[in-house]
Amino acid sequence: MTAPVTRPYPGPASPAAGDRLDVGSNPPVVLELEDVTKTYPGEPPVEALRGVSFTVHRGELVGIVGPSGSGKTTLLHLIGTLDRPSGGIVRVTGFDISQLSDRELSALRAGRIGFVFQQFFLAEHQSVLDNVADGLLYAGASFSERRRAAAHALARVGLSDKLAVLPTKLSGGQRQRVAVARALVGRPALLLADEPTGNLDSSTGQSVLDLFAELNNEGATIIVITHDHGVARRMGRVIELLDGLVLADSNGGADDHRGDGDDNGGADDNGGADDKGGADDKGGADDKGGADDKGGADGSEAPAWP
Amino acid sequence: MAVGGAARAGEGGGGGQRPVVLVPARLGTRDLARLASVGLRTRKLRAGLSALGIAIGVAAIVAVLGLSSSSSAGLISEINKLGTNLLTVTNGQTLFGQTAELSVDAPGMIGRIGPVTDVQYDGTVSNAEAFRTPLIPSIDTNALSVEAASLGLLSAVGTTVAQGSWLNAATAQEPVAVLGAAAAQRLGIDRIFEGERIWVGDEWFYVAGILNQAVLTPEIDSSVFVGFPAAETYLGFDGHPSEIYLRAVTSQVNAVDSVLAATADPEAPNQVDVSQPSAALTAEADAQGAFNDLFLGLGAVALLVGAVGVANIMVISVLERRSEIGLRRALGATKGHIRLQFLSEAVLLSVIGGVVGIAFGALSTAVYASTKGWAIVVPPLAWGGGFGAAVLIGAVAGLFPALRAARMSPTQALWSI
């Protein structure tokens, strides 16, 4: 790879990086929430989140499930760095989003977070390839680089034969695959899906969920937000939200609840971070293989999938 | 501070490594052009109509400026062809309000001014009128004047004979007349045939020729010319010139102008009127431009209306494209990226309108000017100004919608559809 990559774009990673998952028992932390609250002003003020804490490591497939009003959309805004918490700390790939300016948050999204929406949000006048390539538009990649990465991402979601087609000619499931490819094209550290099956019939919905599972197997960190317990059950880990609080976390015995428990949990997390440092070196090596020498600063920005 | 935060995060992640700085990417020109044309490509009719508003305004301005320049250019080129070095000396008025008389010696004296190359003159025969026949009532003078003319008058005033011939040394002695262009028309004579005559004073005068229009000296057109000797013999003319036409070396025209009155009548220079007909005509050509202010104003109003149209379309566009804005923010666009996209879209819309308007304005100028036989002149002020106005209008009209688009919160843009 000789692509002249500009700063926030992690760059295409080496496909040979097969060791991504065996970095030890504690893969690096991608997302970290500490006692996060969010209150919307009003009469009376709405407390959408009332102290949510959990941690997501690289390579996890997480479902966040809850009925409407449980705060899951607010949580999505915060994880996606589209909004800031009223209290607590949200760290995405190590960055405390409260500390970042709007510009820096934008750069963070451009390089490290991929979004998949219920309504797909594809540009109807653009070909599938250009829709996916636009996923890298704000990441500083050149036009040809973007198209190359887009073709690669579309191949990954099984739409190699649809590059020049307009999204309006595609079925709902295909459109959502295009949206997934757009989210993946920058190889983000975190893929965030908001009701990805909400506009799809159940069998196409299942195939999109299968795609998520495959991508996760290849190393992508994916968070799916849904109201549908059936969808959530497909995820490796389910976090249930109710009334702005975590009701249950299927990963409860693992590291996260240590963080919930007391402040020492923070130290534990730091311990995790040290491990992450260990992983980081490897990640850095991978990234060099992938012609990206900037990602080395933080292991958690390793590509989501090879 | 923000960079510090990033550095701290980097420390937490790996400890002592290079800090990761989050810097948004800059959009390339090509990407920006592509973004700016999104609205145009997706809503062609709407974009076309709002660009049309700008196009009409710019076309009006370009055409008005182009037409006035072309018409001035036409007039001025005609003036230049006739020469700008013509000066006229006419008899003014005495202190008591009577018509002053130029001395018989005046042409000779003027001829001795160094840079003067040619001096010709005519004298109004005040007690003679010209009629088609003696049966015409004497009050129907047709505002014609009878003038005794020197033989070289035509070249000095810059006109030529349309039909027949000008006076010569022989015909100047005889009752022979040559008609100015307007005089021939008013007398109802449009061609010369042998034996054709008009009634001048109390004599039949044979018509020898008809002149072309004299652009620099319109008074020639309404005159009936006879020779000096004939005027003295048949019409009782006193021989005093009333208009002297002289040509001077072009670079010395102003110098000659300044001494002319004193030369023509050294005793009473204030009784002599000196003028430069080409200067008056040039001023007239320029004054024609003054009428254009009205049309320019109308063009500006059209532009203003076009600008409001563009602003309106952009406001609607921003509202309609909330989800696109939200998506772009989610993909990592900064507020600046969004602002720039919508601002460039407005400018692009306006510039397209402007270019179409310039083309249309220039085309109409070209068509009209060529039917009039003028040189086609579209001044740089017109197309440059039209283009600049279009860019400016786009920027101004797009500013508010662009700011609005950038201010839109991404969460609201994405989740409140």
Residue A81 scores a pLDDT above 50: yes
Confidence label for A5 from pLDDT (cuts 50, 70 and 90):
very low
Within-domain flag for A237: yes
Which range in B94-98, B178-182, B252-256 is most confidently predicted, on average pLDDT?
Answer: B178-182
Work out the average pLDDT over B45-74.
Answer: 88
A143: nearest CA partner in chain B: B31
Please give the pLDDT value at position A47. Answer: 92
Task: With CB atoms and an 8 Å threshold, state whether A125 touches B42.
Answer: yes
Q: Which of A27-31, B30-34, B126-130, B174-178 has the lowest mean pLDDT?
A: B126-130
pLDDT at A237: 94
Which residues does chain B have within 8 Å of residue A137's beta carbon, measured at their own beta carbons? 27, 31, 328, 331-333
Please name the residue of chain A whose CA is at the shortest distance from the CA of residue B15: A277
A150-194 pLDDT tens trace: 999 999 999 999 999 999 999 999 999 999 999 999 999 999 999
A61 or A18, higher pLDDT: A61
Structure tokens at B228: 């000096």
CATH number at residue A136: 3.40.50.300
Please compute the mean of the pLDDT values over residues A72-93 and round it to a whole number: 94
Q: For the residues B133-153, what does the mean pLDDT come to?
A: 88
Q: Is the dihedral of CA A27, A28, A34, A36 positive or negative?
A: negative
Give the distance from CA A52 to its chain's centroid: 18
Give the mean model confidence (pLDDT) for residues A135-160.
93
| Mean local confidence (pLDDT), B379-399 | 91
Contact call for A119 and B323, based on CB within 8 A = yes
pLDDT, averaged across chain B: 85
Give the per-residue pLDDT at A25: 59
Of B15, B330, B417, which is closest to A80 when you measure between CB atoms? B330
Residue A77 and residue B324: Cβ atoms within 8 Å? no
**Token pair for residue A97?**
């989003």
Please answer whether residues A306 and A13 qualify as being in contact, where contact means their C-beta atoms are separated by less than 8 angstroms. Answer: yes
Compare all CA atoms of chain B with the CA of A125 and give the residue at the minimum distance: B42
Chain B residues whose CB is inside 8 A of the A135 CB are 331
pLDDT at A260: 38
What mean pLDDT is predicted for residues B189-206? 89
**Tens digit of each residue's pLDDT (9 = 90 or more) over A8-17:** 434 444 333 3
Task: Name which of A234-238, B81-85, B169-173, B234-238 the model is least confident about.
Answer: B81-85
B2, B42, B414 ranked by CB distance to A101: nearest: B2
pLDDT score, position B256 = 87
Which of B20, B324, B417 should be substituted to probe chain A, the one whose Cβ sees the most A Cβ atoms within 10 Å? Answer: B20
B411 with A83: Cβ contact below 8 A:
yes
Before B115, cis peptide (omega within 30)?
no
Nearest C-alpha in B relative to A295: B20
The C-alpha atoms of residue B163 and residue B210 are separated, in whole angstroms, by 5
Q: What is the pLDDT of residues B311-329, one digit of tens each?
A: 999 999 999 999 999 999 9
pLDDT above 80: residue A299: no
Residues 6+ apart with CB under 8 A from A282: A19, A23, A299
Using CA atoms of A205, A211, A213, A214 in order, give the dihedral in degrees to the nearest 10: 160
- Closest CB to A134 among B19, B331, B337: B331
Q: What is the pLDDT of residue B285?
A: 67
Convert the pLDDT of each residue in B163-175 to its tens digit.
899 999 999 999 9
| CA distance to partner chain A, nearest, from residue B410 (Å) | 6
Is A1 domain-assigned? no
Mean pLDDT within A101-113? 93
Chain A positions in Cβ-Cβ contact with residue B415 (cut-off 8 Å)? 73
Which pLDDT band, with edges at 50, 70 and 90, does B259 fall under?
Answer: confident
Q: What's the pLDDT tens digit per position in B1-31?
A: 333 333 333 333 444 444 567 889 888 899 9
- pLDDT grade for A286, boundaries at 50, 70 and 90: very low
Instruction: Flag whether A306 is in a domain.
Output: no
Quick one: pLDDT at residue A167?
Answer: 94
Q: Which residue has the higher pLDDT, B349 or B97?
A: B349
**Cβ neighbours of B28 in A, within 8 Å:** 142-143
Half-sphere exposure of B382 (CA within 13 A, CB side): 27
CB contact under 8 A, A110 and B332: yes
Question: How much of chain A exceeds pLDDT 70, in percent?
Answer: 74
* Min distance B35 CA to chain A CA atoms (Å): 10
Q: What is the pLDDT of residue B39?
A: 87
Contact flag A119-B21 (C-beta cutoff 8 Å): no
Q: Going along chain A, which residue ranges are E strands?
A: 29-40, 46-57, 61-65, 87-92, 95-96, 113-116, 190-194, 222-226, 237-242, 245-249
State how far the Cα of B157 lies from the Cα of B79, in Å rounded to an integer.
12
**Model confidence band, residue B399 (pLDDT cutoffs 50, 70, 90):** very high
Contact yes or no for A111 and B332 at CB 8 A: yes
pLDDT over 70 (residue A306): no
Contacts of B40 in chain A (CB under 8 A): none
The residues with which B248 forms a beta bridge, in sequence order, are B116
Residues of B in contact with A134 (CB under 8 A): 331
> Once rounded to an integer, what is the mean pLDDT over residues A41-52?
92
Taking an 8 Å cut-off on Cβ atoms, the answer to whether B10 and A297 are in contact is yes
What single string gives the DSSP state of each residue in A59-102? T-EEEEE--TTSSHHHHHHHHTTSS--SEEEEEETTEEGGGS-H
Give the confidence band of A268 by pLDDT, cuts at 50, 70, 90. Answer: very low
What are the tens digits of pLDDT across the range B103-117? 888 888 888 888 888
Query: Are the beta carbons of B9 and A95 separated by less than 8 Å?
Result: yes
A-chain CB neighbours of B409 within 8 Å are: 82-83
CB contact under 8 A, A110 and B12: no
- The backbone torsions φ and ψ at residue A116, rounded to the nearest 5 degrees and listed phi first, read -125, 125
C-alpha torsion A234→A276→A100→A220, nearest 10: -30
Cβ of A140 within 8 Å of Cβ of B411? The answer is no
Mutate to test the interface with B, among A129, A138, A144, A270 (most CBs of B within 10 A): A138
Predicted pLDDT at A254: 47
Structure confidence at residue A78 (pLDDT): 95
The confidence band for A53, taking pLDDT boundaries of 50, 70 and 90, is: very high
Closest CA to B100 of B108, B89, B109, B110: B89
Q: How far is A31 from chain B (nearest CA, A)?
A: 12
Amino acid (one-letter) located at A32:
E
The DSSP 8-state label assigned to residue A252 in this structure reads T
Q: Using the beta-carbon criterion (under 8 Å), do A138 and B30 form an inter-chain contact?
A: no
Range of lowest pLDDT (A104-113, A295-304, B52-61, B206-215): A295-304
Give contacts of B10 with chain A, Cβ < 8 Å.
Answer: 94, 297-298
Domains in chain A, number: 1
Question: How near does any CA of chain A get to the CA of B337, in Å?
Answer: 9
Q: Is the ipTM above a cut-off of 0.85?
A: no
- Grade residue B288 by pLDDT with cuts at 50, 70 and 90: low
Give the residue-averaged pLDDT of B282-290: 67
Chain-chain contact of A82 with B15 (C-beta, under 8 angstroms): no
pLDDT tens profile B361-372: 999 999 998 998
Could you tell me which of A179, A171, A251 has the C-alpha nearest to residue A212?
A: A179
A91 contacts in chain B (CB < 8 Å): 9, 12
Does residue A9 form part of some domain?
no
Q: Which of B68-77, B207-216, B286-295, B346-355 has the highest mean pLDDT?
A: B346-355
Tell me if B299 sits within 8 A of B66, measured CB to CB. Answer: no
The answer to whether B360 touches B399, Cβ cutoff 8 Å, is no
The pLDDT assigned to A191 comes to 95
Greater confidence (A220 vs A265) lies with: A220
Given a cut of 70, whether residue A289 has pLDDT beyond it is no
Give the pLDDT score at A284.
37
- Chain B residues with CB under 8 Å of A127 CB are none
Cβ-defined contact of A100 to B2 (cutoff 8 Å):
yes
- Give the one of B31, B330, B336 whose C-beta lies nearest to A109's C-beta: B330
Q: What is the mean pLDDT of residues B72-80?
A: 77
Band (pLDDT 50/70/90 cuts) for residue B291 is low
Give the predicted TM-score (pTM) of the model: 0.69
